[in-house]
Structure 1
Amino acid sequence: MHKPLLVPEFLDRARTHYGDSEAVVATTGERFTYNELGERADRFSAALQERGIEKGDRVAVLDPNTHYHLEAAYGSMQIGAVHTPLNYRLTPDDFAYILEDAGVDVVYADHAYAEKIEPIREEVPTETFITNDADAVDGEWEAFDAVLEDAGTEYDRPEMDEEEIITINYTSGTTGDPKGVCRTHRGETIHAYLTTTHQGISDDDVYLWTLPMFHVNGWGHIYAITGMGAKHVCTRGIDAEWIFETVREENVSYMCAAPTVLNMLIDYYGDNDIETSGANDVRIATAGSAPPEATIRTIEDEFGWYLKHVYGATETGPLIATSDAGRHFEADSDDRFAVKKRQGLGFLGTEIRVVDEDGEDVSQDDKSIGEVVVKGNQVMEKYWNKPEETEEAFSDRIEGYYHTGDLATVDEHGMIAIQDRKKDIIISGGENISSIELEDTLFDHPEVSDVAVIPSPSEKWGETPKAFVVPTSGDPDEPGISEDDLVAFTRENLASYKTVDRIEFVEELPTTATGKVQKYELREEEWEDEDQMVGQG
C-alpha cells in the first residue's frame, strides 16, 4: 500500500493525539497547546490564501526560534506553499538576492530583523510583508497577530504530491552566491523519521531550540518534535547562563549545539557552581566539526549529559551519519571518546561511501583519504534554478551520489572520520596535513578556548599550518601562554611534519549562525597578497 508522505501531517498527528498537551513554550512567556498552535497555523494558512498565495508560491520566514516561525512554516506548508527560511545573520543585499532568486511572494520577518528587509522592498518581487510587532519597525508591515485574528480558521488544503518541492533552504554562500536547496515532502518526511529514530525522540521530550530553526528546518526538528507530540522551548538568542537555567526550569531533555556552543557552556560551567539538569536526563547532539575528546569528556562526565555527534550538510537533509554506535564502545570507557568524535555510521537507508579521484572506494584502513559521497531518500532534489551546479553535485567523481566535498577515512566498521574539506587540506612540502587533527591537539591545551587552523603562505613549503587561537583568558593581548609554547605543544603531541608553525591570538573566530567556523574568511585575509592558493586538493 502506498500512502503519500506529506509534511503537514506532522502537525495533524500532534493535534489528533496531543491536542490538549503543551506544544510550545514561547519567548513571550505564553504557552500553547497543540490545538492552539494548530489553530494559529490554520489562521496563517487562511490569511495567505486571502492574499492570493497558492500551492507552489514561496513564503519566506526570517525569525529567531519563536512560535511565530513554527506557525508561519506550517501555515505555509498546509496550503502547499514553499517554506523558505532565511538566515537572520545575512545582510540586506543577501536577502535581496535570495528573495529575487526564489521569487518569494510573502515575507514574514521578526521585528528585530525587518529592518534588513525594509531597504530592499522595492528591489524584490515580494508583495506581502508581515511582522510580529508592526509598531517596532519602519515601513508598512502587517501585524502577524492581527492578520491571524482577521483571517478565521477556514482554508482550502490543496491536493499535494510527495515529490513536490515544499522547502527551499539556502546554503550559507561561503563560496559564492547562496544556492537554494530544494527538498520535497518525501525527503523532509523521511529525514524527520530518521532523525526521530537516531536521536531517540519521544512524546515526553522537552526540546530546547538552541539550533536555528532556519538551518535546514532546524535539522528537521520542526517536523520530528512536532510529529511526536513533544514540547518545543523557543528562544530569541542564547547565552550559557540562560541555557542552564532553562534546562533546569523546563526540565529540558534534548537539544542540539555546535561545538562553539559546547565550548561556551563548558567555559560558563567552569566559572560557576551550578546544576546542569532538571528532572530529566539530558542528551545533546552536535555537528559542524568533530568535538575534541576533552569536550566530550566534560559534557558527559561532568555535566552528566549524553552527547551524540551527527554529520551532514544542507543538501543532505542534513543528517546522514551518527557516531552514536554503542556496540562499538563501552559506555563508561574512555574508548568511547575516540568513537564519538568520528562522524560515524550512515543513518538507516543511507548509503555513504568514501571514494578516490576515480570514484573507487578507498580501503577501510582508516588511513586512505577520499571524498564522502552519499545516496539517500533525505538528500536534496536539486538546487533551485541551478541545473549545472546540480549536475556537478551528483556526478563529480561518481554518478548518482551527492558529493559532500568532505575528505574522510573509513575504518573496518564503516565509520567515517572527516579529515578536512577538500579546499582546507593543508599541503605542506608535499605532505597532506589535517587541520582537524591540529585543532584537536590545540584544544587539549588548557589555555585554548577555541581554534581554527588554515594553510598560510610559505616560501619554503608552499603553505604551512597557521592557528587562529581564542585564548581561555579571552584577551588576545594577554593570552596566558606564548606562541612559541603552543608551537612546542603541537610538536610534543604530533608527528614533526604536522606541527603548527604560526599562531595568531584573536578575540573570536568568524562563524555562521549555527556556530560553524568560517575558515574561508580567515583564508581570504591570509592569502590576499598571493596570486593563487596552493594545494587546494
Structure 2
Amino acid sequence: MHRPMTTLDFLDRGVDVYGDAVGVIAHDGTEYTYAEFGERVDRAAAALAHLGIEAGDRVALLSPNTHWFLETLYAINVLGAISVPLNYRLIAEDYEYILDDCGAQAVVADYEYAEKIEAVRDQVPATTFVANPADRVDGDWRDYESLLAAADPDEAERPDISEDDPATINYTSGTTGEPKGVVRTHRTEHWHALITAHHTEVTDDDAYLWTLPMFHVNGWGYPYVVTGVGGTHVCQRHFDAAGAFERIQAHDVTYLCGAPTVLNSMVDHYQDHDVPATGDKPVRIATAASPPPEATIRTVEDELGWNILHVYGLTETGPLITTSNSPRRIESEGRLAIKTRQGHAMLGTELRVVDEDGDDVPPDDETMGEIIVRGNQVMDRYWNKPERTREAFTDRVDGWFHTGDFATIDERGMISIKDRKKDVIISGGENISSVEVEDALYNHPDIERVAVIGVPHEKWGETPKAIVVPAAGADLSEDGVIEFARDNLAHFKCPTVVEFVEDLPETSTGKIRKVELRESHADPAG
C-alpha cells in the first residue's frame, strides 16, 4: 500500500508512544512531556490558523535553540503551511530579501532578533508578526504565549497533505551570490529523518543536546528524528561550552552535533576547567563542516571519552548523505584513517565522484572529482529559480545533484572531501587540496586554527597561503610554519606565505568563510 510520508508522522509517534515521557527540556530547565508538547503544538497551530495561516502559506521562523522553535516548526506543518527557518546571524536587509523571495505571510520571532524584522516590516509581504515575548520587542507584535493560552488545541485541523507538498524552504548562505531557497518536501524530510535515525543510532534512551542551530537545514532533521524515536530534546539557546557541559551532567546527555569549532571549544573548556565530560551514559558527537583534524579526534575520544561520528551533506541534500560510522573499517584500518573521511553513502543514496566529462574517477583514493548524488533526501528544487535548479541537476551528469565539493573515492565507495570546487588551489598546473594542507598544519601544537587559500603568484599562477590563529602563548614564525609544512607535505603543496590573525570569519555553523578570506587576501602579501 502507499501511505503519504509527512513530517507529522514523527510528532504523532512521539505523542502516542511516549506521551508520559519527558520529550523536551527548555533552556531554563522546564520539562514538557510529549503529551504536553503535542498539546502546545496544536495550540500553536490553532493560533496560527486563527491569524489566517492556511495550507501552502509560508511562515518564517526566527529563533535560537528553544522549545518553542520546535513547537512552531511542527505547528506550521500541522496546517499544511511551509516553514522558512531564518539564520539569526543575518542582517535586516538579508531578511528583507528572503521574506520577499518566499512571499512569507507571517513571521514568528524570538525577542532577541525581532528588531531586525521590525526594521524592514514595511518592505516585506508579511502581515502577521508574532514575538516571544512581545513585551520585549518594539513595535506591533502579537505575543506567542498569549496566543497559545487563548487557543483551543482541538481546533487544530489538519488538511490533506501530500508527501510531495513543500514542508520547508531553507535558504543557503549566499556566499557565492544571492541566497537560494531550497525547497524540501514532506517526503524528503521524512526519508532523511529515517536514514539519519538509522545511521546515527538515535533511540528513546538518548538525550540530544541542541548545540547545532535549529534553523540550519531544520537542525539536520533532528526535530523529527529525536521526536519520532521518543528521545529527549535538551535546548540551549546559544552554544557555549560551559552551558553544554552543565546540561550534559544535569540531563545525562548522550548525543550532540557540532562543527570542529564546537569540538575545539569543548576541548579547551574541559582542559581549562577540569569538568566531568559525561553523565552516567557515554556521549557521542556527530561532526560535519570541514573534516576534524586527527589531533582533534584523538583529544575528543581519548581525553573526553566521546565517540565521534563524521557525516557529510549540504542544505540541498537533507543534509546528510554519507557517514563514516563503519565499525568494520575502523577496526581494520584504524579510527583516524576512517573518521577523517566523510564516509560511505547512506541507505538509499547513490553517490559518485566524476571528472569534468561526467565520467567516474578511478577509485584509487587519489584522483579528485566532483561529488554528485541521487536520493530521496535530495531537495525538490530551488524556490522560484528554475534555471539554477536545472543547472544543479544537469551540470556534468543529467539527473544527479551536483554538490560542488571535490573528493576522492576508494574501491569500497568511501569518499574523502578535498575541497569545495572553488577552494581547490591550482599551482603550476597542480591541484592542491586546501583541506589536506590545513589538516597537516593542525598537527602543529602551537596552531589553534588555520585556513589555507590560494593567492596570486607571478610564476605559479596561485600559491597556498596559510592564515593562522596561534594557540595561546605560542611563539610562531612564518618560516617555522612553512618548515613544519615542508616536513609533512609534498613541497609544492606547502604554503609560501603565512599570516597570523586573532580569529577567522565563520558561518553560523562553524564553517570558515573562505570567500571572505580570498577577497581580503587577494594580494599574496595582504
TM-score surpassing 0.5?
yes
- Distance in 1 separating the partners of 2:247 and 2:112: 22
What is the CA deviation profile of residues 390-444 of structure 1, one whole-angstrom value per residue up to 9, with x for unaligned ones?
0000000000000000011101111001111111000111111110011001111
Q: 1:522 aligns with which of 517, 520, 523?
A: 517
Contact 2:455 2:523 in 1 (8 A): no
- Distance in 2 separating the partners of 1:298 and 1:471: 18
Aligned residue identity for 1:14: G
- 1:9 corresponds to which residue? 9
Q: 1:500 aligns with which of 490, 495, 504?
A: 495
What is the CA deviation profile of residues 117-165 of structure 1, one whole-angstrom value per residue up to 9, with x for unaligned ones?
1110000000111111111111011110001111211121101100111
1:179 is the counterpart of 2:180 = yes
Q: Superposed, which structure 2 residues align to 1:48-447 within 5 Å?
A: 48-153=48-153, 154-330=155-331, 335-447=334-446
Contact 1:76 1:82 in 2 (8 A): yes
Percent identity of the aligned residues? 57
- Distance in 1 separating the partners of 2:337 and 2:501: 29
Aligned residue identity for 2:270: Y
Residue 479 of structure 1 and its aligned partner are, at CA, apart by 4.3
SS in 2 for 1:330: helix
Q: 2:482 aligns with which of 481, 487, 498?
A: 487
Contact 1:285 1:307 in 2 (8 A): yes
Residue 238 of structure 1 and its aligned partner are, at CA, apart by 1.5
- Distance in 2 separating the partners of 1:451 and 1:130: 41
Residue 528 of structure 1 and its aligned partner are, at CA, apart by 7.2
- 2:448 corresponds to which residue? 449
Residue 344 of structure 1 and its aligned partner are, at CA, apart by 0.7
Aligned residue identity for 2:244: I
- Distance in 1 separating the partners of 2:478 and 2:245: 34
Aligned residue identity for 2:161: M
Residue 91 of structure 1 and its aligned partner are, at CA, apart by 0.5
- Distance in 1 separating the partners of 2:456 and 2:241: 37
- 1:533 corresponds to which residue? none
Contact 2:78 2:156 in 1 (8 A): no
SS in 2 for 1:101: helix
> TM-score normalized by structure 2?
0.98
What is the CA deviation profile of residues 65-88 of structure 1, one whole-angstrom value per residue up to 9, with x for unaligned ones?
001101110110001000110000
- Distance in 2 separating the partners of 1:31 and 1:469: 43
SS in 2 for 1:380: coil
Give every structure 1 segment of 4 or more consecutive aligned residues whose post-TM-superposition deviation is greater than 4 Å: none
Residue 53 of structure 1 and its aligned partner are, at CA, apart by 1.0
- 1:23 corresponds to which residue? 23
What is the CA deviation profile of residues 463-493 of structure 1, one whole-angstrom value per residue up to 9, with x for unaligned ones?
11111111111xxxx7421121111100111
Residue 299 of structure 1 and its aligned partner are, at CA, apart by 1.0
> TM-score normalized by structure 1?
0.96
Residue 241 of structure 1 and its aligned partner are, at CA, apart by 1.7
Residue 329 of structure 1 and its aligned partner are, at CA, apart by 2.0
Residue 272 of structure 1 and its aligned partner are, at CA, apart by 2.6
Contact 1:170 1:181 in 2 (8 A): yes
Contact 2:210 2:233 in 1 (8 A): yes
SS in 2 for 1:394: helix
Contact 1:467 1:503 in 2 (8 A): yes
- Distance in 2 separating the partners of 1:178 and 1:479: 39
Aligned residue identity for 1:526: H
- Distance in 2 separating the partners of 1:465 and 1:479: 23
- 1:534 corresponds to which residue? none
SS in 1 for 2:125: coil
SS in 2 for 1:504: strand
Residue 270 of structure 1 and its aligned partner are, at CA, apart by 2.5
SS in 1 for 2:105: strand
Residue 528 to residue 76, structure 1, CA distance change in 2 (3 Å): farther
Aligned residue identity for 1:122: D
RMSD: 1.3
Contact 2:457 2:524 in 1 (8 A): no
What is the CA deviation profile of residues 37-56 of structure 1, one whole-angstrom value per residue up to 9, with x for unaligned ones?
11111011111111111100
Listed as ranges, the gaps of 5+ residues in structure 2 are none
Aligned residue identity for 2:272: D
- 11-20 vs 372-381, which moves further: 11-20
What is the CA deviation profile of residues 253-308 of structure 1, one whole-angstrom value per residue up to 9, with x for unaligned ones?
00000011111112222223221000111010000011111111111111111100
What is the CA deviation profile of residues 329-374 of structure 1, one whole-angstrom value per residue up to 9, with x for unaligned ones?
228x8x2111111111000000000011111111100111110000
When the two structures are aligned, how many residues end up with a matched partner? 524
- Distance in 1 separating the partners of 2:5 and 2:298: 40
- Distance in 1 separating the partners of 2:267 and 2:442: 13
Aligned residue identity for 1:252: V
- Distance in 2 separating the partners of 1:9 and 1:274: 39
Contact 1:479 1:505 in 2 (8 A): no
Residue 198 of structure 1 and its aligned partner are, at CA, apart by 0.2
